[in-house]
Structure 1
């Protein structure tokens, strides 16, 4: 521009900057004159933006908005490449305000090297009504993933019914990411045309497409092709399979059960689990009976696998249905129902199982006895005693005696002793084992004498079992490695040895022989998996290939494995001995996991199963390449506001789903929040802190702390009743840390930090980060209130409050 133009523009810029009233007549006159200078004023205005105050900035943006045109557009683009953040912000504001330039220039600007693409995308979003869906689609295909996603968000906002043919025409394209975005956009339109197009993608070879299609169908209403969707319950991709579960459950199609038959027969455990999870929601006695009738002509191993899945994963609806079927007229149905109940160990089944012991089918009767023994209910003892005295129960006596050994106590000694002398070998064996379990200290000597007499039996099996029973009895009375009710002792536990020439000497050696004790320890050690010695490529259980060790915490060691059966990576978390050896902890732990595995949501790590592998307990769960939320806070500096808000809202979303099924996390902390490169957030370690019983202190008898002191709610620290508001407190603490760069309480050791939480005297976030918008600091402090009645009461409420601060 000319010297005089430059001089004039600079003078007007100075006049605007020196004005005390941006809205005054003098300032507005200067703004109008600066606009009249024309394109020559642009450089002067851009140069003034970095140091301008708020009032001047608004005036300068008004000038820039008036000078935007097709001719001056390149000048603005240079500013987006070379300018400071204030300059970029001013240009963005001006381009957003003006419509005096062709919109296609914005799409072309995305290709300019070094340009601030987020700014251009913000302007495109603001000017979205000026674009056609076709224009944006063409531009999106040429962009990198982040820009592509942003453009597709705009497409999703402007697409209308007229755009449906264009979108459907592109849904079969080559770019899988673009196809996923198109599927998500089409999900907005609940029309038969869209339904048909989407359901045609359910057999697509790309797992991303299958998964996105199922997610779209889940959000839509209307009829679905239930056969196609049920076929995906056998999908090798766990994520696809889980989404198929949700779609089938929501559809609740009358033909669903028909298509579950083949899924329940499938060799893949995940497929069978999927079928049962659907049944848990839509099943009833009629549908379960239909399935069992369809399965009864299958091979025995197919029936066994199906019964195992129904029993172990079946929820209340399935179990209630099975309890009705125990009385069905069809013998095969009754047998199948009893097999399922043998897997459930559900106390609700006791009365039905007691009634089933009177079944005319001997097989149903005997398996009912087995199931009662596995459940461990003493209510079954009177009926078992009745069977013991009934001649018609002759063939079932060994099973009845075995069950009494698991359920009975010392009052049964007089009933069981005569059975040791019975002629039937099976009855004698079961009576010997039962006596070793029920005799108390007062009757131990009498029982020992009877058992020692059996050690001299010419029947080698009887002799060995008697010797093992003597050892078990003596060890139990002495308090050594007691065998719990319902457990069959291993040879090492029972101390089985060949009978000795002198029974009395044999008994003494069985108890005190150092060589035997050493051999027992060696046998147990040999059977137990040592995860510390695993090398890359090692195969466990003939299925899980070791890849790498991810980490170790108070509850367990986390390993990355590959399931060679389904050719998929997963996580195995092996529980530490201090957890797995505590019976009460394990009971609560397994109970919580049964519910946790039902949580299926994009913001929650999926739990697959609870496994027992070579002497160790492990949780198998979804593998999610990611970093922790903790790594987002670098050098005690706050996380960018909108990013932190998005993370907090995602945590609220995932926790809402968990709370809806009655799961409280109890250990929410940055280490249990994972984020991938695309910004997807998932919560991990549900159920781990379920080992904590209401009323327990946080420092448990096994020496580990349940929950993390920096993020633990006051009521949890004090051992009071914990509900979802404890999780809300933890989200508040994490939000505090993200937006201030440091947790509210961190000084001193664990006990000191816990005390600080109970006192609740954290500095207000606004003091540490004055840039926080008004009200956000109060929101965080409300979430962290010591009195839980003063916090947000649900995650939905907290999430809605956070949304108010989103741009």
Structure 2
């Protein structure tokens, strides 16, 4: 039986920490559950040796990791960092709970027998969204833009709190800093990326981009569908860049007050979205009150139980007990933060769909030229879709068709075909002189 590179280090000591087991591997790093010499368990993220050859890479790895600590609460704490034998690592708190995508899938499994396709109960989904927005508001006030909000990066703690993971690609605004114009590289996850991220216009990515991604996350956990159904990450980028988002109320039965908040977050133009995370949070809390007759609780009940790890054989076939078992598996999932572990699982509704491939803009630059090519475990880094890609995709049927025509007959029957609501009317020219299709009014 083959042993992965990460597993080979299990049992070894790294500074003050003993590596107990590998809990996640990606192209850039391996994450371990580790034991400090004082007896505390932590998550330790170790940069791979082949990536750690440059001091600048190691410094950036640590610097970006600490972005989370600029957020007063609601983000995973970075506890320590060190470098031993040229290997850089971060030490993070080890949370007890489960990521939102795993939670949604477990709920959906329980609901499917009753014909309910909504991954998360609406009241709980809205409450989770409100808690996410509190943390994002604090992050934005601290000058931190997350840039990769999605269900996998939302952690539901057994204690009833919500935390954001993976500030590893966050952007921290420095005093007096001017935005540089960089176009052509994509940062984020296609299925939850804002139009400006999909275009690769990094200078335009700001707090409103995070707001779009929160809207996309709520859309998914409320409906069981992605904002833009696609057969590949590239197609997802094309749709996000050129097509308006579906209205939440058209794909699921939801209270209009909730749909209105989510739909505004998903507006194609940044200026038409909620101006701040705080504004969206206030609107979402009001929608919760209108729809359910109660305020958003300060502490949420995810049905994960109150004990620590539970043994698999004690899990009973009821929704609450099923989720307790899920929590036991997910107790160390926080260790996956920022690793870029591939996700081969399907969408939350169980249909076949393009995976939510993670795209980290700087990963390629961080790997020295002499380093071996990334393995299949590392998600690819993509360029923003160029005009040739758009034209080729449209001519092959991959991009949205003209109004009235089904976009693709290849999508699963459980997923409705997406019909384009706008055609290209002329072109826009970006900062680098490239031409892009302009949406019709």
TM-score by length of 1: 0.31
Cα contact 1:600–1:606 (8 A) shared by 2: no
Give the equivalent residue in structure 2 for 1:608.
79
> 1:717 is matched with which residue?
198
**Maintained 8 Å contact 2:68/2:76:** no
Q: How many residues align?
A: 269
Equivalent residues in 2 for 1:310-325, closer than 5 Å: none
- Matches of 1:582 and 1:715 in 2, distance apart? 31
Counterpart check, 1:619 vs 2:94: no
Deviations 1:662-704 (A, max 9, x none): 11111111111111223321111113355999544575xxxxx
Q: Does residue 568 of structure 1 match 2:40?
A: yes
Which residue does the alignment assign to 2:357? Answer: none
Q: 1:784: which partner in 2? A: 266
Partner of 2:360: none
Change (3 A) 1:723 1:615: same
Residues 50-81 of structure 1 show CA distances to partners (whole Å, capped at 9, x for unaligned) of xxxxxxxxxxxxxxxxxxxxxxxxxxxxxxxx
Matches within 5 A, 1:263-662: 531-535=6-10, 537-541=11-15, 543-564=16-37, 566-576=38-48, 580=52, 588-601=60-73, 603-634=74-105, 635=108, 637-662=118-143
Query: Which of 765, 778, 782 is the aligned partner of 2:248?
Result: 765
Q: Structure 1 residues 748, 554: CA separation in 2 closer, same or farther (over 3 Å shift)?
A: farther
Question: How far 1:580 sits from its partner (Å)?
Answer: 4.3
Are the structure 2 counterparts of residues 738 and 795 from structure 1 closer, same or farther at C-alpha, using a change threshold of 3 Å? same
Deviation, structure 1 residue 728: 0.9
Q: Once the 2 structures are TM-superposed, how far is the Cα of residue 595 of structure 1 from its aligned partner?
A: 4.4
Distance 1:583 1:786 in 2: 40
Larger radius of gyration: 1
Question: 1:248-263 residue pairs with structure 2 within 5 A?
Answer: none
- Per the TM alignment, residue 778 of structure 1 is displaced from its structure 2 partner at its CA by 2.3
1:795 aligns with 2:291: no
1:753 aligns with 2:236: yes
Asked if the contact 2:244–2:268 (Cα under 8 Å) also holds between the matched residues in 1, the reply is: no
Shift of 1:589: 4.7
CA distance in 2, matches of 1:559, 1:640: 33
Tell me if the contact between 1:586 and 1:691 (Cα under 8 Å) persists in the aligned partners: no
Q: Provide closer, same or farther for how the CA distance between residues 582 and 758 of structure 1 changes in structure 2, counting only shifts above 3 A.
A: farther
User: CA separation in 2, counterparts of 1:644 and 1:796?
Assistant: 17
Tell me by how many angstroms 1:731 deviates.
0.5
User: In 2, distance between residues paired with 1:588 and 1:683?
Assistant: 21
Shift in Å, 1:600: 3.2
CA distance in 1, matches of 2:50, 2:69: 23
Counterpart contact for 1:608–1:622, Cα < 8 Å: yes
2:98 and 2:155 in contact (8 A); partners too: yes
Distance 1:656 1:581, change over 3 A: farther
For 1:645 and 1:558, locate their aligned partners in 2 and report how far apart those are by CA, in whole Å: 31
Asked if 1 retains the 8 angstrom alpha-carbon contact of 2:81 and 2:88, the reply is: yes
Partner Cα distance (2:17, 2:58) in 1? 24
Change (3 A) 1:610 1:627: same
CA contact (8 A) 1:698 1:707 kept: no
Instruction: Sort the Cα spacing of 1:546 and 1:585 in 2 relative to 1 into closer, same or farther, 3 A.
Output: closer
Check conservation: 2:190, 2:233, Cα contact below 8 A. Answer: yes
Whether the 8 Å CA contact 2:67–2:172 is kept in 1: the answer is no
Take 1:780 and 1:792, find their aligned partners in 2: how far apart are those partners? 10
Alignment pair present for 1:733 and 2:216: yes
Matches within 5 A, 1:207-246: none
Q: Aligned residue for 2:402?
A: none
In the other structure, the counterpart of 1:124 is none
Q: Cα–Cα, structure 1 residues 658 and 561, in superposed 2: closer, same or farther, change >3 Å?
A: same
Output the CA distance in 2 between the equivalents of 1:588 and 1:785: 33
Question: Unaligned stretches of 5+ in structure 2?
Answer: 109-116, 174-178, 289-293, 295-441
Residue 126 of structure 2 aligns to a residue in which SS? helix
Aligned equivalents of 1:695, 1:577: Cα separation in 2: 32
Instruction: Call closer, same or farther: CA 1:656–1:578 in 2, change over 3 Å.
Output: farther
**1:684 is aligned to 2:193:** no
2-side partners of 1:695 and 1:579: how far apart? Answer: 27
User: In 2, are the aligned partners of 1:597 and 1:606 still within 8 Å (CA)?
Assistant: yes
Q: Is the 8 A contact 1:736 1:742 kept in 2?
A: yes
Offset of 1:604 from its aligned partner? Answer: 1.2
Query: 1:589 touches 1:688 (CA, 8 Å); kept in 2?
Result: no
Q: TM-score under structure 2 normalisation? A: 0.56
- TM-superposed deviation, 1:586: 5.4
Pair 674,773 (structure 1): closer, same or farther in 2 beyond 3 Å = same
- The answer to whether the Cα contact below 8 Å between 1:695 and 1:719 also exists between their aligned partners in 2 is no
C-alpha separation in 2, matches of 1:582 and 1:762: 42
DSSP 3-state at the match of 1:546 = strand
Check the 8 A contact 2:71/2:135 in 1, yes or no: no
Q: Measured at CA, do residues 737 and 570 of structure 1 come closer, stay the same or move farther in structure 2, by a change above 3 Å?
A: same
- What does residue 332 of structure 2 align with? none
**What does the per-residue CA deviation read over 1:548-603, in whole Å, with 9 as the maximum and x for residues that have no partner?**
22222454222111111x321111112346764577665655444454323331x2
The 3 A distance-change label for structure 1 pair 633 and 788 is same
| Residue 72 (structure 1) aligns with | none
Instruction: State the distance in 2 between where 1:790 and 1:582 align.
Output: 43
Q: How big is each residue's C-alpha offset from its partner over 1:389-438, in whole Å with a ceiling of 9 and x where there is no partner?
A: xxxxxxxxxxxxxxxxxxxxxxxxxxxxxxxxxxxxxxxxxxxxxxxxxx
